[in-house]
Amino acid sequence: MAAPAHRVSARLSAIAPSATLAVDAKAKALKAEGRPVIGFGAGEPDFPTPDYIVEAAVQAARDPRNHRYSPAAGLPELREAVAAKTLRDSGVALEAAQVLVTNGGKQAVYNTFAALLDPQDEVLVPSPFWTTYPEAIRLAGGVPVDVFAGPDTGYKVSVEQLEAARTEHTKVLLFVSPSNPTGAVYSPEETRAIGEWALEHGLWVVTDEIYEHLTYDGMPFTSIVAAVPGLADQAVILNGVAKTYAMTGWRVGWMAGPVDVITAAANLQSHATSNVANVSQRAALAAVAGPLDAVDEMKTAFDRRRRAMVEGLNRVPGFSCPTPEGAFYAYVDAREALGRTYRGGVTPATSAELAAFILEQAEVAVVPGEAFGPSGYLRLSYALGDDDLAEGVQRIEALLSE
Ligand SMILES: Cc1ncc(COP(=O)(O)O)c(C=O)c1O
């Protein structure tokens, strides 16, 4: 019998190439040519990890206990500390056995959907969404169902929209506040209304709280599980140290939820990756068990840049940018800037073409909306230095004003 002709599996062939990475690759290529590219693409704080966390890692590296395999679900001390931290920050009480330490928040996303979904199960995904979610859902055999909310509602979906998208196959609602890519933050009332609707219909809620400490203008962070405690047995909280402690490279995240789901995900992880690097787990332990001063400092800088960014972007002809209340992204409605003819007779019809034009002509990298849902939008991270930020926005304004 002949072997199957296809080389790459249908499952992996179906993964969409990341539009974020395409922009990044082009920006890096231009930089390598020596061109002064300013990047608004980064999804990470531009600060170093606080010293006391780095010091904990240095000590851990010298301790032979950390040179060996450790439990696949995470160091017991870290699972305890994450449970305590979740009570402190989210207002949700957990046992350590309800926490699985993962290789970054990203692995928590994959594990969670793998643990919850069977083929054809639908997940309601408020859009614009972070690029990884639909791929993780599809890889688990599930079906992502986009529910789009535009700038008119501050990029926040309503219960009515969610209800209109619900079918007999809907198993999970994904809830992300503060949001990547839009920076939207749901108010306590909005969060409660959505949580109560999910509970009423017996839906699971997967809630990504990774930007919990980055809210501005006095906007509170609300954990949907604390707002609607009845969800506790059908909710998974995703989180990690990356954004709060400027630790993107350390790769520590976690998922927290009912023991059966956590155990299933831990079984998967025990075959896929085993324990997260012990040195990183020790650093994460110092982070979550420690103070929040460092994130408060970062927040002051982000808040200043956020204001400068929104003000500058709203000066660009054809751009409209609502003020984001969380995370470190601005999400521009650039639809009015499309279909116009610019330098060199270029007439971008999509946000992907507009982003490519801005990169080529202004040497500024922004991520097109196609990476996160519909075309017509641009995501700009304000996790970069004040001078670069001002210069980058000014270059875009100059180019699109010509
Ligand atoms: C919304 C959201 N969740 C999770 C993550 C995962 O972060 P990490 O895998 O670096 O912990 C990110 C990173 O960009 C994110 O934006």
Does the C-beta of 178 come closer than 6 Å to ligand 1?
A: no
C-alpha 318 to ligand 1 mean position (Å): 30
What whole-number distance in Å separates Cα of residue 198 and Cα of residue 228?
A: 10
Q: In DSSP terms, which residues pair with 256 in a beta bridge?
A: 99, 237
C-alpha 41 to ligand 1 mean position (Å): 14
CB 128 within 8 A of CB 144: no
Architecture of the 10-48+294-401 domain: Alpha-Beta Complex (3.90)
User: Hey, which bits of 159-203 come out as E strands?
Assistant: 170-176
Ligand 1 test: best mutation among 82, 130, 186, 288, most atoms within 8 Å of CB?
130
Ligand 1 test: best mutation among 18, 82, 131, 132, most atoms within 8 Å of CB?
132
For residue 130, give the ligand 1 atom closest to its CA.
1
Protein residue whose Cα sits closest to atom 13 of ligand 1: 43
C-alpha 315 to ligand 1 mean position (Å): 30
Does the C-beta of 18 come closer than 6 Å to ligand 1?
A: no
The SS3 assignment for 147 reads strand
Residues 6+ apart with CB under 8 A from 279: 57, 60, 61, 66
Q: Quick one: pLDDT at residue 3?
A: 77
Residue 178 phi/psi, 5-degree rounding, is -60, 150
C-alpha 401 to ligand 1 mean position (Å): 35
What whole-number distance in Å separates Cα of residue 330 and Cα of residue 133?
A: 20
For residue 179, give the ligand 1 atom closest to its CA.
1
Protein residue whose Cα sits closest to atom 15 of ligand 1: 180
Q: Quick one: pLDDT at residue 45?
A: 87
Q: Quick one: pLDDT at residue 1?
A: 66
For residue 43, give the ligand 1 atom closest to its CA.
14
| CATH domain 51-289 topology | Aspartate Aminotransferase; domain 2 (3.40.640)
What's the pLDDT tens digit per position in 200-242?
Answer: 999 999 999 999 999 999 999 999 999 999 999 999 999 999 9
Would you list the domain boundaries of the chain? Answer: 10-48+294-401, 51-289
The C-alpha angle with vertex 182 and arms to 178 and 187, in degrees rounded to 5, equals: 40
Does the C-beta of 102 come closer than 6 Å to ligand 1?
A: no
- The model scores a pTM over 0.85: yes
Instruction: Please list the pLDDT of the chain residue by residue as tens digits (402 residues).
Output: 677 778 999 889 888 777 777 777 888 889 899 999 999 988 888 899 999 999 999 999 999 999 999 999 999 999 999 999 999 999 999 999 999 999 999 999 999 999 999 999 999 999 999 999 999 999 999 999 999 999 999 999 999 999 999 999 999 999 999 999 999 999 999 999 999 999 999 999 999 999 999 999 999 999 999 999 999 999 999 999 999 999 999 999 999 999 999 999 999 999 999 999 999 999 999 999 999 999 999 999 999 999 999 999 999 999 999 999 999 999 999 999 999 999 999 999 999 999 999 999 999 999 999 999 999 999 999 999 999 999 999 999 999 999
Q: How far is CA 149 from the centre of its chain?
A: 17
3-state secondary structure string across 222-265? CCHHHHCHHHHHHEEEEEECCCCCCCHHHCCEEEECCHHHHHHH
What whole-number distance in Å separates Cα of residue 194 and Cα of residue 200?
A: 10
Protein residue whose Cα sits closest to atom 1 of ligand 1: 180
